[in-house]
Structure 1
């Protein structure tokens, strides 16, 4: 991502981030602790459009004012809810008794001009692996999601340091006899040997972790699709487990 705008949180409340792929695609108009307003530049003349991300004021006493401003914007700009594929509920209080409640708090709204630009818009809830809010995804058109992936170059993963055998694997590769008179080429060859040994040693454990994350995420998606108090105990346990696995991934 070349472009990024970050609005710092107020203590532990709020905090916004907007990222975009190419720097020249987006022009930031204004922002505050509870909104980001940008102009997205289209490829054709007359195809520019505005994107505004809005969040309730981080200070509880000022949220009423922010919601009133939002209602005014909805009315003046003729913005309507796109809807959501599935049950639409993207938040719950995660209680396991009769106080359990769920709401559809997060949504996308557009006006008629935007509908003209984007013929096929779809909103769906994604998997909420850790948060009590589910991420929501807006897509327009089919998109090419099945592009061939280029070969990923070797990268040393920091989480390998904590695994048994990492130091020995590096020593084994580095101490291997290399028949080459050029010092630089010899170093390159040693690095290549080390990368091969490390990949061989830890490839299976990395795959196992990835597979477990996928399996747990699938079950989390099922539970969040139902989103009932009966499934909260299992959901919390699975989110805690996947959170641990994702932390291991983040070490990378």
Structure 2
């Protein structure tokens, strides 16, 4: 792998990466932690993504959630999440599907004072997903930090029985928060081809399902441990 520095600041590092015959842009991102300065994060993100059409991966600690379901506790005002989503949409980015426990931040407190949410994530544009269609993000075990480290796998395809897992829409999803919004976002991003729109909807719904529907089982498993 070869890397060349494009730009850097306290809040980002922007690289050109090449691996074999594949090349893409890689941005490590750290969002402003103070809410009053959070708009600077989205200004930086949109500037980085301005007029860029090549493969792009952006990964890091964004210090914000995209949806309320990405929080186990605590509160976020709607405008905070909207501003983040607007910047992500403007850059043409979408989440890499993740594995293991969904929340990457834990303040370490107990009881009602405990706060958990998903602040760390990896997002790519469509050109990047064309290069790495089997990419996945792994949330590693949090030990000394209040943030869990994350590991990006460029090829995490399922090998069991050599078959691709089918995506089946469940009627129960219709009444769940965020389902309709995930479909609308996917439909807008899926291009003009109907198959592309359906494929995007499937990916978005599976990512949404991993956050919303899988939460109960993950909570049970965590409490058992």
> Under a length normalisation based on structure 2, what TM-score does the superposition of the two structures give?
0.48
Larger radius of gyration: 1
Whose strand proportion is higher, 1 or 2?
A: 2
